[in-house]
Amino acid sequence: MARQFFVGGNFKMNGTKESVKKIIGYLNDSDLPAQVEVVIAPPALYLGLAVEVNTQKTVAIAAQNVFDKDAGAFTGEICPAQVKDLGATWTLTGHSERRTIIKESDEFVANKTKFALEQGLSVILCIGETLEERKAGITLDVCARQLDAASKIISDWTNIVVAYEPVWAIGTGLAATPDDAQETHKAIRAHLATTIGEKQAAEVRILYGGSVNGKNAKEFKDKADVDGFLVGGASLKPEFVDIIKSRL
């Protein structure tokens, strides 16, 4: 089935008011394809600014993370209601840096995903293996475990986009080959078919998130189960537009 091409841009802990306005201004001034869904995730401090300056109808704003509870005594966290209050409509959950550096568990990521959905946000759910796990040959076991934590408590995946991030390829300049990515994405979809049903699995978009840039994005164009990209550093540069247009 035809799944809408999706490109996410994760600014991570980068940017100032001036640079965020400059990045989004470049998107505003670009001729973006109407058939591509784009979601950008600036630091939480600049969510409101991003919403205000974005004029592209095909571009939405995401938080990089949310908490799994509503407003309350949770210092340093942000809840989905606050993200929505600023006009953002998406959030990331389970990014590899939060799993590996902040030590978020699969269950915690799943709970945050479920709560964000219940509060009306759409979610980019990130999964993926470390270099050690890849060398051990357990890539699919790791991805299945991370997905299963979510599928145990979430039945409707309509508003979830899955981002497969080979952790070893993030920020290293390394990247899985398009064939490697396709093989892993196909296996991820097959596993989802066993947990959330074949129909939902066929409809879920699966993004590749390992050091994609303007030069290599087109190499993934014909891969049936690669439905787009979750981009890190390249989303801060003009080449982000080239990635958005890579499926054309």
| DSSP 8-state assignment for residue 39 | E
130-149: burial string, b at 16+ Cβ within 10 Å, e else:
beebbeeeebeebbbebbeb
- Joined tokens for residue 120: 């009306």
- Joined tokens for residue 215: 């030069």
Catalytic residue among 37, 97, 129, 165: 165
Q: By the 8 A CB rule, do 126 and 160 touch?
A: no
Closest CA to 245 of 30, 21, 28, 22: 30
Describe the chain by its helix, strand, coil percentages, rounded to 5.
Answer: 40, 15, 45
- Joined tokens for residue 103: 């030590």
- Is 133 known to be catalytic? no
CA gap 171, 157 in Å, rounded = 29
Q: How many CA atoms lie within 13 A of 188 on its CB side?
A: 33
Instruction: Determine the distance from the C-alpha atom of residue 16 to the mean position of all C-alpha atoms in its chain, rounded to a whole number.
Output: 22
Burial of 178 (0-12, 13-18, 19+ CB in 10 A): middle
Rounded to 5 degrees, what are φ and ψ at 122? -90, 155
CA gap 66, 189 in Å, rounded = 26
Catalytic residue among 37, 95, 185, 191: 95
Q: By the 8 A CB rule, do 128 and 93 touch?
A: no
- Is 203 known to be catalytic? no
Catalytic residues: 95, 165
